[in-house]
Amino acid sequence: MRKRNRVFGHTLTIYLRLLGVQLRSQLQYRFSFLLDLLATALIVLVEFASIALVFGRFGSIQGWSLGEVAFLYGMVEMGFGLMDLLFSGFDPPHFGQAVRRGTFDQLLLRPVNITTQVLGSALELRRLGRIAFGAAIFAYGLQHTAIVWTAAKVLYLPLVLAGMVFFFGGLFMIGATITFWTVDSIEVMNILTYGGSYVISYPMHIYQNWLRGFFTYLVPAIFLNYYPALYFLGRPDPLGYPGFAPFLAPVVGAGMLLLGRAAWRWGIRHYQSTGS
């Protein structure tokens, strides 16, 4: 037990040191960092402005106000951005390159847990721009909705964010695992990650049944954001799921992360038996 604790402590300090390396490395390129930050922030802003324009025209989307959609949208930007920051090392195109260039082999030659090393191999600081503007849009949403805050809601909010980080992090891990075999199929994963995060930025009752069904039963992203939002905003459930549905976000997130981890471990075993 004590030995396990020591290994864990070592792993954690190495993780933090590796993140420190990423931080220092990227701050050497201050100008390009600022440009990147600006660019990602602009993208978020333009995307949200285009939504706001639609609202200017129609007033609401199937009963949801701009403020309520801002709540949804801001949550996803923050959650996905945070995930993108922390799981940069598993970003499939990035990881696929590490495998092909042999840098992944270099990680396997070091006496530290391999998952930790991949997590510490990249930290895309420019995602901070996305997170910051997501937070701004979220704040706008809070101002323009009348959420009745309770202690439970305040405590649950970070868990919803964590759920999204875990969920998309798990998908990134699965995507990274696939690159052990092929880099051609990354697009399929993009549909789930980027497509999924886009889909859950809107109130999901607006979608056609097949699309909503896909993101409920196959990839249960509906529970990550839409259902928690119903709870926070105090809206009735138009789809008639059980009352605990809004509280599934952390469970669904943790489930996807576990699935990702299982795939990842299996992938590494395969890699060690075949090379690339």
Taking alpha carbons only, the member of 216, 229, 186 closest to residue 93 is: 186
CA distance 16 to 20: 6
27 vs 206, beta carbon nearer other proteins: 27
Interface residues with other proteins (CB under 8 A) are 10, 13-14, 17-18, 21, 24-26, 28, 101-103, 105-106, 108-113, 184, 272-275
CA distance 189 to 65: 31
Q: Could you please report the per-residue DSSP string of 109-157?
A: TSSS-HHHHHHTT---TTHHHHHHHHHHHHHHHHHTS-----HHHHHHH
Taking alpha carbons only, the member of 272, 237, 92 closest to residue 170 is: 92
24 vs 57, beta carbon nearer other proteins: 24
Q: At its nearest, how many Å lie between other proteins and the CB of residue 17?
A: 6
Q: At its nearest, how many Å lie between other proteins and the CB of residue 36?
A: 15
Q: At its nearest, how many Å lie between other proteins and the CB of residue 21?
A: 5
Q: Helix, strand or coil for residue 61?
A: strand
CA distance 94 to 176: 8
2 vs 24, beta carbon nearer other proteins: 24
Q: At its nearest, how many Å lie between other proteins and the CB of residue 22?
A: 9
Q: At its nearest, how many Å lie between other proteins and the CB of residue 53?
A: 40
- Residues with Cβ within 8 Å of residue 120, at least 6 apart in sequence: 14, 15, 17, 18, 19, 21, 22, 89
92 vs 253, beta carbon nearer other proteins: 92
72 vs 122, beta carbon nearer other proteins: 122
Q: Which two tokens stand for residue 226?
A: 């839409």
Q: At its nearest, how many Å lie between other proteins and the CB of residue 107?
A: 9
Taking alpha carbons only, the member of 23, 13, 170, 161 closest to residue 90 is: 170
25 vs 150, beta carbon nearer other proteins: 25
CA atoms within 13 A on the CB side of 215: 28
Q: At its nearest, how many Å lie between other proteins and the CB of residue 92?
A: 18
25 vs 62, beta carbon nearer other proteins: 25
Taking alpha carbons only, the member of 123, 127, 121 closest to residue 101 is: 121
Q: At its nearest, how many Å lie between other proteins and the CB of residue 242?
A: 39
At which residue do the structure tokens 């196959």 appear?
A: 218
104 vs 226, beta carbon nearer other proteins: 104
Query: Packing angle between helix 66-86 and helix 226-233, nearest 10 degrees?
Result: 130
